[in-house]
Structure 1
Amino acid sequence: MLQQYIKGFIEEQKIPGAVIHVQRDMNVLLKQSYGNFTAKDGSTQPITQQTIFDIASLTKVIATLPSALLLLARGEIALDDSVQKFLPKFLHETVTIKNLLQHNSGLQADLSPPVQRDEVRNILEEIYQLKLSYKTGETIVYSDLGMILLGKIIEEVSGKSLNSFADNEIFKPWEMRHTTFNPSKNLLHNIASTELVKGQYVQGEVHDEKAFLLKGVSGSAGLFSCVEDLVKYAQYWLGISKQSIIPSEWMDLCHSHLCQHRGLGFEVWTGKDTVPPCGRRWTVGSFGHTGFTGTSIWLDPKRKLFVVLLTNAVHYGRHFHVKEFRQGVHELVYDIYISN
């Protein structure tokens, strides 16, 4: 039933293809790839288990969050540290690192006017000078801008670029060998293209406009990865596989220390408020994140269940059906593998 559901979306050209991995503890329940994409050169390429995707806002929890947790665990930063301590140009001394992680900083969701790929704009300077759009800590407004600032803080504190720090301190120790910013041109044939821009598909370059102007590396977007690496990542978060890079208490805090439906970095299903991408039937306390291009990862710590779902849904433009698709997939996972 689940596979037919995915194939139906492909046949109706709602998505070009997908890769899914469903696992409970050590048991792989489903591991499959579907469909094709049109490459930059116009050729048709299959989507496989080895396909690399622009994971968009999954960057926030795959690269930026673990990098920040590592610095927190080392005592090099603290959750209550002011952003201004590290980025003096930022105007608001009351905004903390915890506010950035919980998306309650007061920063608006995005820059206005929206950034275009062919513009010349100083993204960081614009964010530094923004007025707050609501009182810090008052509510949740999911914001790319706060995570861009957090990426910059990681660079300032570590003395390394975000891509270098994440690669050496997180990805290599966790054996996420295919996860990177600005992938090598040698990998182009294996990277799913995203959106059609000026008559040619974007392939191997970041889809997100702000990250593109930030030379492909930001705390908000820019990362490329594949299902194999994201499965490893999920297993570490659920304790299925053991790691010694980030203390488990810091990882647990990310989905237990809540402000409304946001933990540190992750969205958490509270049983109320907005229904998350996993649907309302998943266990309260399940947590995850999505990416605009069509990627997502969702984890249930009680059942040690997770789903990695990768698709380049923007292939057919930005008016796509990915929210419906994600919820349908996750509800079917629950029906097939949990209810029965």
Structure 2
Amino acid sequence: MEGGEHLQDQQTVQKIHRLVDDGTVPGVSWAMIDHSTVTAGVYGNEQLIPTVAPLIEGETYDVASLTKVIGTLSVILQLLAGHQLELNNSVREFIPEWQHPEVTIRHLLTHTSGITGYIPNRNQLNAADLTSALLKLDVGENFGIKMVYQDVNYLLLGWVAERILGWPIQRLIQERVLTPLGMTDSTFHPVSPEHCVPTENSATRGLLRGRVHDPKAAILGEHCGSAGLFSTKRDLVTFCRAYLNPTQATGVLPVEWVTALTQDWTPNQVGRSLGWALWESQPQPVLWQTGFTGTALVIDPATQRALVFLSNRIHPDAPNLPFLARRNDIIQSYIDEK
């Protein structure tokens, strides 16, 4: 991966560095793709406790909800392209235990399902009990008319894929997405925690390093399609390049679906794609997705540009809410500097 910085991206790089300089995050790792050129850098520390350690290239991150678009969405797009699934299929066709036939695959993909409800002691349940509780959630007044981002949508999508293909969703992601794309650093089971950037210093679980932060992913394991993936900047650049050139990854990313993702796919045009959020830009919207741990992908097919942004925003403590506005400012800066 090439070093250095493009002149037009210097303001964005300065904003990224400022996150570290003012103590908003311990460190940042970033890459910017411009057609065939990649510029990248690291800045700051990988951890602050138990000791301060500098961030180095090649470290592995818990990418949290990037799992949704990298993994589960890719598998679902494959099923759509292969006519094993249709957008307007009811979720209940595949998961009879789900009680709401009005909820379709499209609703889950666009976070317009309106699923609501509270699960007592959710993070203390075992996998079977958590699965049962999630399948008993209700559908409320936002159904079909409002986008409300929820992990449960992608948990259900993962279970739909499991019912169709017969394997746990994380295994499907590994075999149908990560391996064929050559994302060799990416895994749901890091074997070298010392090469993972730590996340939260949890009161109940201790310092999380090489162990997934998301509580539902920790409980559900290989049956979680909403979080759980660990990856590196290099692999995320590989993924973004495949998105920018889907004809070179046709076995993994169906061209007809990937090229249509910059449009609004919600039932009532509330401004969201399948999986991805849409950031308004010209000549067409830009795809973006973030992860709770402090990660983000921004993909602009129209200009053949993409941003990979990695931080451990929740180290040592979550939730670090001031980070959110700063992250959005960085994304806006990157899009504006094109």
Structure 1 residues 168-207: aligned runs within 5 Å: 168-184=175-191, 187-198=192-203, 200-207=206-213
SS at match of 2:248: coil
What are the superposed Cα offsets for residues 268-314 of structure 1, whole Å, 9 maximum, x if unpaired? 12x4xxxxxxxxx6764111100011000011121111101011100
Structure 1 residues 61-72: aligned runs within 5 Å: 61-72=69-80
Paired letter, 1:251: V
- 2:18 corresponding residue in structure 1: 8
Paired letter, 2:44: G
Q: Given the superposition, is the C-alpha separation of residues 57 and 283 from structure 1 closer, same or farther in structure 2, using an over 3 Å criterion?
A: farther
- 2:328 corresponding residue in structure 1: 327
Scaled by the length of structure 1, the TM-score of the pair is 0.87
Cα RMSD of the aligned pairs, angstroms, is 2.2
- 1:215 corresponding residue in structure 2: 221
- Counterpart CA distance in 2 for 1:226 and 1:170 is 15
The Cα shift of 1:101 comes to 0.1
Paired letter, 2:207: Y
Paired letter, 1:23: I
Q: Given the superposition, is the C-alpha separation of residues 50 and 283 from structure 1 closer, same or farther in structure 2, using an over 3 Å criterion?
A: farther
The Cα shift of 1:325 comes to 2.5
- 2:132 corresponding residue in structure 1: 125
More off after superposition, 153-162 vs 43-52: 43-52
Query: 1:235 and 2:241 equivalent?
Result: yes
More off after superposition, 77-86 vs 323-332: 323-332
How many residues were matched structurally?
321
- 1:277 corresponding residue in structure 2: none
Scaled by the length of structure 2, the TM-score of the pair is 0.88
More off after superposition, 77-86 vs 199-208: 199-208
SS at match of 2:32: strand
Structure 1 residues 265-280: aligned runs within 5 Å: 265-269=275-279, 271=280
- Counterpart CA distance in 2 for 1:101 and 1:314 is 27
Contact 1:182-1:217 within 8 A present in 2 as well: no
- 2:5 corresponding residue in structure 1: none
More off after superposition, 313-322 vs 152-161: 313-322
- Counterpart CA distance in 2 for 1:39 and 1:201 is 11
- 1:298 corresponding residue in structure 2: 298
Query: 1:34 and 2:43 equivalent?
Result: yes
Q: Given the superposition, is the C-alpha separation of residues 99 and 7 from structure 1 closer, same or farther in structure 2, using an over 3 Å criterion?
A: same
SS at match of 1:180: coil
Paired letter, 1:203: R
Paired letter, 1:15: V
What are the superposed Cα offsets for residues 221-266 of structure 1, whole Å, 9 maximum, x if unpaired? 1111111111111111111872121321111233324322211001
- Counterpart CA distance in 1 for 2:20 and 2:114 is 39
Query: 1:140 and 2:150 equivalent?
Result: no
Paired letter, 2:80: L
- Identity rate of aligned residues, in percent? 29
Q: Given the superposition, is the C-alpha separation of residues 131 and 37 from structure 1 closer, same or farther in structure 2, using an over 3 Å criterion?
A: same
SS at match of 1:181: coil
SS at match of 1:183: coil
SS at match of 2:256: helix
Picking from 219, 226, 231, the partner of 2:232 is 226
SS at match of 1:127: helix
More off after superposition, 294-303 vs 257-266: 257-266
Contact 1:106-1:136 within 8 A present in 2 as well: yes
What are the superposed Cα offsets for residues 74-133 of structure 1, whole Å, 9 maximum, x if unpaired? 22222111111111100001111111001111213x7444733x4446222112111112
- Counterpart CA distance in 1 for 2:100 and 2:58 is 44
- 2:310 corresponding residue in structure 1: 310
Structure 1 residues 158-177: aligned runs within 5 Å: 158-177=165-184
